[in-house]
Amino acid sequence: MQTFYNVVFTLFLCLSAPYYFWKMWRRGNWQGGFSQRFGHYSPRVKQAVTNREIVWLHAVSVGEVNICTQLIRALQIQAPTLTLVVSTTTATGMKELERKLPSDILKIYYPIDRRRWVQRAFAIFHPRAIVLVEAEIWPNFLWRARSQKIPVFLVNARLSPRSYRGYKRCSFLFRPLLPRSPPWAARIRKTRNVSSTSAANPKPSTWWAT
């Protein structure tokens, strides 16, 4: 399954890359953090995460960034010794992160979901846990987390009808990635309500997160 996904993803990436590069060029300031999308990070980033306990949070774009900032404030109070790394996919999301989060929070671009690039990112950050804000699911990223036994949390995971249909059509791919009992689920069913939907179990469900 992983080989099939990586072959299809690489073909899709090659075909779609010109369009996305054109969009980035039109938007401007595309050079900033461009290499991070391929798992290459500056010495400053590497130094900031060396010998630290990392929690990696991912917020796709502007809407998710607003949720992520609230979560970060709570984590800073409850676990002040953790080093928080926040990734985003879009340039607008990065602008929001830089505007809303203090300088001590490391902000990066999420690596493109090609196996080698994802492996590079994990080799640098060695996260203790991963928090995905909204249901943007990239298989290589989750496969890597699973292989390293890194718990993954999915918060505020609302699916549009269109996305739901897409995940359901590809349930053969997403079912192994989203088991019915996610890591740490039994330990976090006590406080705040976070609704989610899983391709492994298409009926809406409720998870509880601290």
Annotated catalytic sites, by residue? 64
What's the half-sphere exposure (Cβ side, CA atoms, 13 Å) at 14?
5
Nearest alpha carbon to residue 95 among 32, 34, 43, 36: 32
Nearest alpha carbon to residue 154 among 173, 176, 179: 179
The two tokens of residue 77 are: 């109070």
Strand-pair partners of 160? none
Burial (CB count within 10 angstroms: exposed 0-12, middle 13-18, buried 19+), residue 19:
exposed
Strand-pair partners of 209? 192
The two tokens of residue 142 are: 């989750």
Q: Round to whole Å and give the CA distance between 113 and 39.
A: 10
Task: Judge whether 201 and 26 are in contact, CB under 8 Å.
Answer: no
Task: Judge whether 139 and 70 are in contact, CB under 8 Å.
Answer: no
Nearest alpha carbon to residue 176 among 143, 150, 133, 135: 143
